[in-house]
Structure 1
């Protein structure tokens, strides 16, 4: 799923497959999609994968930020960091490596996030394995809150990331401002995404990052991703051509026929946003965080960082031209959220 220069958030993005080689290993890791689901997007849950990547990034000492900018202290008090409980101790500094997803405070006792942040091995994670950090701009500050209940949308699909939405009920109310949820669907206009996710260099920041992007029609995301799939498919078929003795012309014909039969990657429950050049995007560790527009001077959440796409030989599946980022379309879930919070 990015920031800025990516604000590196999405979840929704995982490291893509390595360089394609001929032979039986050519398809190893050649995942067609990205962060969050089983085969298409990620081999492991963010709660295990992202903290490990954050730790390695800190050890490498890469501290450069590209594209976006650091958020001002206290600018987004509704932003929540999800921490792996087993990775934190009494030290606030331990919170940096423990962060694996984002979320938003939508009521004093409720955090909204992505379902793929709350699922591991096909089942919802136990409440005790996740801690919500509220009121932090830097990951060495804020107040920790125990989680009393994990709620994953019953229609969530690990294979397509449809219905990628979940809720955390906190054990006690948080004393922080909340963000309003949109009451109207939209596919155009300026928006902002925030998070502590992976940067272009592989570095994970300690300070919350922000980036301005544009809401875009789903057709743009679908078309851009199909172009990526076509290039990946062509690469795979070309690699096998000498061994299986088929022609370059056959590769071209087969690629066109398969691409023409592809269904759209996005469903109606997904929202497309980003920039045409891919410079500003969300990535690993941003998943679950808010995508919001500003109305009457106040932020209104319209989406949840969900997933993204990139070529299989790229270092990361985020920040690619014409690929954009994919977010959960919140306008479709107002009733579900209200029902769960009322129970």
Structure 2
């Protein structure tokens, strides 16, 4: 059987053609193919026990550090809150308190500028010291009181100083000088003095003063009597001659004597709080000055009162802080009245010590009977101060620092004149009298004279 050279008579190709190699495909004809292979997840790396332990320790340390940091932060916040609360509740932790809740820096105290709303920072910066009325100024820089050098000092400075103390503009008597050492320096007058400005703004600190001559100041002609023969010679209470106690006044209600008082400036009278605390107003009062007997009110004018100020701490039960002030509507002094029978008493300056057995005088209007009527006669008696402990033994410990205790030297050894601050009459044998200590209230008096004008 013969082999057919063609596979198919109808096909134009021969076997050789079929076996012939085709030309390679061009790059454009090649189609890329993507084959997705799914590989199995590789096994986790093996961790040795020592590495795992280290990781655990680091984690625990981080937690402990974070907790400690949070606790420290909370403690800091707590401390800050406490300090802030203390700062807000104590506004004067950074200064001195004004008295109304506000405060100023310590360096602003007594600098001549009123930084407190009511000027409390300048209230107690000027004072008179001792029996010579030595003028002293407080310095916040040295935290001490210093005397004022007399070099360059004139009458206008004296008037300005009296106004700073609380006296009225027209109240001034004289300035003087004395030699005094000052270990805390001196205040000297600035060359550009302005008499209408606050006195503290016109002074500056200095380490020296020529010859150590410093200023003494008298705001009133106080303490001198027109009739120096008023001191009774015999023991016991004696009628007081006219002019012997020119500061004594009679405070009257509805034409009747209510209590006594003492003139301390042309406008101001000091008396007891228990005399005025239940009276309705200043218009009810009439003040008589320069009188010693029942005929006095007939020949002397009644002076009206514009303001009555009782001590805010007065206790009627214990009689502590038993002091009050009255301000007259018009000035009352020897210049205004032309009478030597009216003159202020000196306030006890800082540095004056009162102790047993120092002697003094008490005066009081005593009721006397003339015919069918009762009237008032001014009486005076010499007394001696006694120790507070001895006085307390007589009054069950009711004595306090704002009181003085004195015994009158009478033939019978009794106190026949004067009232206790508790309002009892001194009638018991050898029982002393208790009186208000004006020196204790000196700052209070000057403060009222300033703010109650």
Look up the match of 2:87: none
Contact 1:187 1:272 in 2 (8 A): no
Q: CA deviation at 1:278?
A: 4.8
Could you state the TM-score of these two structures normalised by the residue count of structure 1? 0.53
Query: Across the two proteins, how many residue pairs are aligned to each other?
Result: 198
Shift of 1:198: 4.6
Q: Could you list the runs of 5+ residues in structure 2 that have no partner in the other structure?
A: 1-234, 334-341
Matched ranges for 1:46-125 at <5 A: 67-84=236-253, 86=254, 88=255, 98-120=256-278, 125=280
Q: Report if aligned partners of 1:133, 1:144 keep a CA contact under 8 Å in 2.
A: yes
- Check conservation: 1:135, 1:143, Cα contact below 8 A: no
Deviation at 1:137, TM superposition (A): 1.6
Over 3 Å counting, the alpha-carbon distance change for 1:278 and 1:158 in structure 2 is farther
2:433 corresponds to:
325
Aligned to 2:331: 173
Q: Which runs of 5+ in 1 are unaligned?
A: 1-65, 89-97, 227-263, 288-304, 310-316
Equivalent residues in 2 for 1:234-253, closer than 5 Å: none
2:316 maps to 1:147? no
* 1:165 and 1:328 in contact (8 A); partners too: yes
The TM-score with structure 2 as length reference comes to: 0.41
Could you tell me which residue of structure 2 aligns to residue 136 of structure 1? 291
Aligned pairs for 1:153-302 within 5 A: 153-175=311-333, 176-183=342-349, 184-188=352-356, 189-198=358-367, 206-226=376-396, 264-275=397-408, 278-283=413-418
Q: Write the deviation string for residues 126-156 of structure 1: whole angstroms up to 9, x where unpaired.
A: 1011111111122322331101000000000
CA shift in 2, pair 1:106/1:204, >3 Å = farther
Structure 2: distance between partners of 1:144 and 1:331: 29
- Structure 1 residue 204 displacement after superposition: 6.1
1:54-103 CA distance string (max 9 Å, x none): xxxxxxxxxxxx9411111211111010101x2x2xxxxxxxxx011000
For residues 67 and 198 of structure 1, the distance between their equivalents in structure 2, rounded to whole angstroms, comes to 16
Q: Please state how far the C-alpha of 1:219 moved relative to its aligned partner.
A: 1.3
Q: Distance in 1 between matches of 2:346 and 2:280?
A: 26
Note the aligned Cα RMSD (angstroms).
Answer: 2.4
Secondary structure of the corresponding residue to residue 206 of structure 1:
strand
Q: List structure 1 segments (4+ residues) > 6 angstroms apart after TM superposition.
A: none
* Secondary structure at 2:251 match in 1: strand
- In the other structure, the counterpart of 1:306 is 421
**Contact conserved, 1:185 with 1:331, CA < 8 A, in 2?**
no
Relative to structure 1, is the Cα distance of residues 274 and 342 closer, same or farther in structure 2, using a 3 angstrom cutoff?
Answer: same
